[in-house]
Amino acid sequence: MNDSLDITNLTYKVFLEVHNLNLPKEMKFEDVKSKIEKISANIIQSEERHLNDIELQESIMRELIFDYCISKNYELDGFPFKQLEKIKNKEPGYDKDYFTREKTEYFLNRLSLKNKDILNLRSVSLQKYYPDCTAEEFKEKIKLYINLAEAENFSFDLTEKEIEEANRE
C-alpha cells in the first residue's frame, strides 16, 4: 500500500511539473524530454509494483507532447488550430471533449514521421512498448498505426452525423 501511495504522489508531482511547464508559450525540447523521461521511468516503476495509474501517466505524456506541438505551431491539415478555433467559437460538437486520444495519437504519429523532435519524444514516451526498437523500426510501427487509422477513414473533422448529435444535446 505504501508503494502505491508513493507512486501516486510521484504521478501528482510530475503532473504539477508538466502543468507548470505548459504555462510558458515557448516550450523547450530538452525540458519536455526531461519530463517525459521522468514519467516514463515512473511508469516502469509502477508496472514493477503492479500499480494502476499508468493510463493517467501515459495521458500526461501524450498531452505534454501535444502541447509542445502547439507551442511549435506544428499542424496537419489545419489540425489542431482549426479545431481550437471551432471550440473557441462554440461550434456544435467542438467542445472540451473534442480532442480524443484517437485524434491526438493520429496527429502525433503523423508528426513523428515529419519532425525528428516529435519522433524522439514519442520514442521516449513509448519505450515501455518498444524497448529495443531502432528509430527506423519505430517509424515502421508508426506507419502501421497511421495506415490502420486511414483504412478506417480517420478524419480530424466531425461528420455531419456527429454535428447533428451535438446539436440535439
Tell me the three-class secondary structure of 103-133, residue by residue.
HHHHHHHHHHHHCHHHHHHHHHHCCCCCCCC
Taking only the tens place, the pLDDT of each residue in 100-136 is 999 999 999 999 999 999 999 999 888 777 778 888 8
| Residue given cell 510530475 in the structure block | 14
Answer yes or no: is pLDDT of 147 > 90.
yes
| 100 phi and psi angles, rounded to 5 deg | -75, 165
- When the pLDDT of each residue in the chain is averaged and rounded to a whole number, the result is 82
Residue spans of alpha helices (H) in the chain: 2-22, 29-48, 54-71, 81-88, 101-114, 116-125, 135-151, 160-168
The total number of structural domains that make up the chain = 1
Q: Identify the domain containing residue 90 by its residue range.
A: 2-168
pLDDT, mean of residues 52-69: 86
More confidently predicted of 76 and 51: 76
Across 1-15, 83-97, 101-115, least confident range = 1-15
